[in-house]
Structure 1
Amino acid sequence: MFTFSSYIQIAEKVAAAAGFYVVVPDFFYGDPYLPDMQLSSWFPNHLPAKGCEDARKVVADLKAKGASAVGAAGFCWGGMTVSKLSAYGEIEAAVILHPGPLSEDDIHATKVPTAILAAEIDDYSPPEQMKKLGEILSAKLVDNFVKIYPGVVHGWTTRYKDDDEHAVKSAMEAHADMLNWFTKYLKSG
């Protein structure tokens, strides 16, 4: 079962592997979405636009404290938030993992290199739509990487069974792809 600690573990792995300083703010303020909740009652109190504004404050604070390059990764709801954040050009790279429904308008507004890591089986972000978003980014001349991971479902990078070899391998591959994207854009030559 997924917990907030899953994000912490991924952040620690990224930090250890590349030496990045990683922060994991709780933009749900202690009220995460849980599988037994009604999305329609939870979502209005957790809009991605609010998450974006909260993230902008974190980015500004990091840069004020000397960070020369900032990247943002977003999972599901966070992917929608990162897509909005990418429009401001305040970060240097974005990774969006198994996003919730992404707006084409947000992708049209994106100003930073963006990787979209998506599941083959996903009603929130179907592979065809994710490929189309990559085409939009390419047409804008924004460097992008869209990858559809075969045989996995929405949430696979954080919610998988440790005894499912394919699920673990796919999640680890996505984490490596995220790390490679950030290394490409956040590490100075």
Structure 2
Amino acid sequence: MSGPECCENPPNLSCGCGGEAGHVQQLGGFNSYISGSADSPRAVLLVSDVFGYEAPKLRKLADKVAAAGFYVVVPDFLRGDPRVPNDERPLEVWIKDHGPDQGFEDAKPVIEAIKSKGITKIGAAGFCWGAKVVVELAKYAYIQAAVLLHPSFVAVDDMHAVKVPISILGAEIDRRSPPELVKQFEMALNAKPEVDAFVKIFPGVAHGWSVRYNDEDEVAVKSAQGSHQDMLGWFEKHLK
């Protein structure tokens, strides 16, 4: 369970950024950031990294997806206990209370709550920790499309079991899912022609870049925007 990258570059939760288009409400038993209209026939579940659902850039991305016509839900699967900068608990200790397997179980009632609104097409995107949650959902077709961004805890065997269209967006500089591992994911998916798959490695960026980029770094911002467009395009394609 090594890999400090999971916890590098934490978001600033006290920035008072404002400007959020959505709101927080209970859904499926979890506090969730909700953006977009529940009248949409299409929904996207965004599953956070270890820093949780309050991360401003994650919520900004939720608003961007909602603006494209989706009902977007970002649940607090970390139950009010995200990783914080200089957390005294080692990641190995924290993860025992916040395993992605628990996130997978927690996602089920949230998906049912989304369906109860009459929404029939649901996609999910997972970031780092959240990618493992999403790949589990993709194995049992709880969702219709999946996107993994700089995944953590994901193994090649997971790819063998995926049942829905899946896109994997990796980083060139990533010890959690290095390009060599992402290529193995791609090979496993290529052996399953019945499952549509798209795999891309973004050059010059590090683990977490899609939601933890530095606003002053033009290359990082552009790469993050590129990953957002790829994610959105995948959902547009498969949640018709």
TM-score by length of 2: 0.75
Q: Residue 175 of structure 1 corresponds to which residue in structure 2? A: 228
Equivalent of residue 12 in structure 1, options 47, 55, 63:
63
Length, aligned pairs only: 186
Per-residue CA distance 1:87-123 (angstroms, 9 max, x = gap): 1112110000011131222221110100000100000
Larger fraction in strand: 2
Q: 2:156·2:184 contact (CA, 8 Å) conserved in 1? A: no
Q: Return 5+ residue gaps in structure 1 as ranges.
A: none
5 Å-filtered alignment, 1:12-91, equals: 12-16=63-67, 18-37=68-87, 38-91=90-143
Please state how far the C-alpha of 1:34 moved relative to its aligned partner: 2.8
Q: Residue 101 of structure 1 corresponds to which residue in structure 2? A: 153
Percent identity over the alignment? 54
Please state how far the C-alpha of 1:35 moved relative to its aligned partner: 4.2
CA RMSD of aligned residues (A): 1.2
TM-score by length of 1: 0.94
Q: Residue 205 of structure 2 corresponds to which residue in structure 1? A: 152
Q: 2:171·2:205 contact (CA, 8 Å) conserved in 1? A: yes
Within 2, Cα distance between the matches of 1:56 and 1:131? 30
Larger fraction in helix: 1
Within 2, Cα distance between the matches of 1:63 and 1:136? 31
Secondary structure at 1:84's aligned position in 2? helix
| Bigger-Rg structure (1/2) | 2
Q: Return 5+ residue gaps in structure 2 as ranges.
A: 1-9, 14-54
Within 1, Cα distance between the matches of 2:78 and 2:164? 25
Please state how far the C-alpha of 1:36 moved relative to its aligned partner: 2.3
Within 1, Cα distance between the matches of 2:65 and 2:192? 29
Equivalent of residue 144 in structure 2, options 92, 100, 114:
92
Structure 1 ranges of 4+ moved more than 3 A? none
